Amino acid sequence: MTDTNDTSAMGALWKAQAMQPRVLPADEIHRRHAALERRVGRRNLIEYLTAAMMIVGIVGLVLLDIRLGAFGGRSIGLILLGIGGGVVAWQLHRRTGGRAAIDGAQPSIEAYRHTLRRERDALASVARWYIGPLVPGMATIYVSAFLKVPPGGRLLVIALAAATAIAMIWVIRLNRRGAEAMAAELESHDRFSNL
């Protein structure tokens, strides 16, 4: 049987031990920061190219509508969608385009944290700046198609609109999960830096 004084003494000794904070070595911070910046750069490049191709395609379709004398609701929706794509590309650059370089001007961990915060904030608000600008164009296209097709084809238009809405919700959820992961990493860095 153990003596209660021994147990309480061991507990006091355990509590008195100094906590060793988890400190990332400088090379690990540089590696993580560079990997994150590469991932963001690749993603942004893909998004910019996608927006550019979308805008070129939309211009072609609108010009075709004009040439065929079919300029109408769909054409207006396409124009709105193209404008939305431009807004998305601009917002992506504005929110995530500036890199926080590890150059000695600030501690490496602060540059990495800055990049994590920037990405977390951008991912968490993707519904507003990424999905939001595309909604007016998509809604106009679907409403125009719904009004134009014969009654038997309206169910297909509704199904396509629902599939688009589900895809948009999926993109929002996926980005929010990414934001939560970055928030957790930031929280762990903050917790250990405050010890």
The span from the CA of 70 to the CA of 35, in Å, is 49
Q: Mind listing the pLDDT tens digit for each residue in 107-162?
A: 677 888 888 999 999 999 999 999 999 999 999 999 999 999 999 999 999 999 99
pLDDT top residue among 193 and 79: 79
Return the number of other C-beta atoms located less than 10 Å from residue 123's C-beta. 22
Q: Mind listing the pLDDT tens digit for each residue in 60-70?
A: 999 999 999 99
The span from the CA of 88 to the CA of 124, in Å, is 15
As a whole-number percent, the residues of the chain with pLDDT over 90 amount to 65
Give the pLDDT score at 25: 73
Give the pLDDT score at 84: 97
Mean pLDDT for all residues in the chain = 86
Chain mean position to CA 30: 23
Return the number of other C-beta atoms located less than 10 Å from residue 57's C-beta. 14
Q: Mind listing the pLDDT tens digit for each residue in 25-37?
A: 778 888 888 898 9
